[in-house]
Structure 1
Amino acid sequence: MEHIQEPRNETEAALLDYKMGLGTFTQKMPELAHHFNAFTEACFKEGTLSQKEKQLIALGISVFSQDEYCIIYHTKGCIDQGATEEEILEAIGVTAAFGGGAAMSQAVTLVQECITDLNQLKQ
């Protein structure tokens, strides 16, 4: 039996929930999951836009749409692709310019919490 380590913070717990949910969905709907994964992998491939730029765009859309799992996932994606905290905060600032108070509330809470949690996990 595989031992699963306890998440160290809320961000890690949310990422684990998403991963487990995606695994269950993939078992139940393998063809659909395969096509979705192939599509998103193609969308996030390095191209004219870098993977970092694509993650910053995805984070902005996630904040605008109030999708907490995607906010966490794409904040991690930004960090994994080398985005600085300043770049992330600037991107979500642009999002707040379009999304108003709802986007700003996610930006000043969940995104900043994720950055802190994810940086602690790297140590």
Structure 2
Amino acid sequence: MEFEARTSTEAALREYKAGLGLFTEKMPKLAEQFNAFTKECFKEGVLSKKEKQLIALGISLYSQDEYCIIYHTKGCLDQGCSEQEILEAVGVTVAFGGGMSMSQAVTLVQKCVQELNQLKQ
């Protein structure tokens, strides 16, 4: 299955990291506080890191945030999620987000899973 997108998954991740780096140079205190907050939010707790990434992916899809969709799809895979687990989480999101969420799921999420899994090989 081939999908065309405006940029590759890997390029989008690099673009996000570069933007975050530039922002951090310009606003170091704010970036430091944001990074500390998100690090705390995503650490292992009663919910696993894996479950938290699945939640974040669902919220990213629902809010139509392409960079976060890519970032949290990678986070899901990095935490050991299978494609089936990701797609089930997507299904729950689509139940709430309808066509908007489905359009990102059948294009961007599937493209990310495909590209990121190829990078692992």
TM exceeds 0.5? yes
TM range (shorter): over 0.9
Q: How does 1:13-92 map to 2 (within 5 A)?
A: 13-92=11-90
Once the two structures are aligned, what percentage of the paired residues are identical?
Answer: 76
Please identify runs of 4+ aligned residues in structure 1 that moved more than 4 A: none
* 2:38 partner letter: T
Matched length = 115
Residue in 2 aligned with 1:121? Answer: 119
Classify the secondary structure of the residue corresponding to 1:99: helix
Q: Deviations over 1:42-98 (max 9, x none)?
A: 000000000000000000000000000000000000000000000000000000000
Supply the distance in 1 between the matched residues of 2:104 and 2:75 (Cα, whole angstroms): 17
Q: CA deviation at 1:16?
A: 0.2
Aligned partner of 1:3 in structure 2 is: none
Residue identity in the other structure for 1:36:
F
TM-score normalised according to structure 1 size: 0.92
Report the secondary structure of 2:45's partner residue.
Answer: coil
Alpha-carbon RMSD: 0.7
* Residues in 2 aligned to 1:110 and 1:98: alpha-carbon distance in whole angstroms: 18
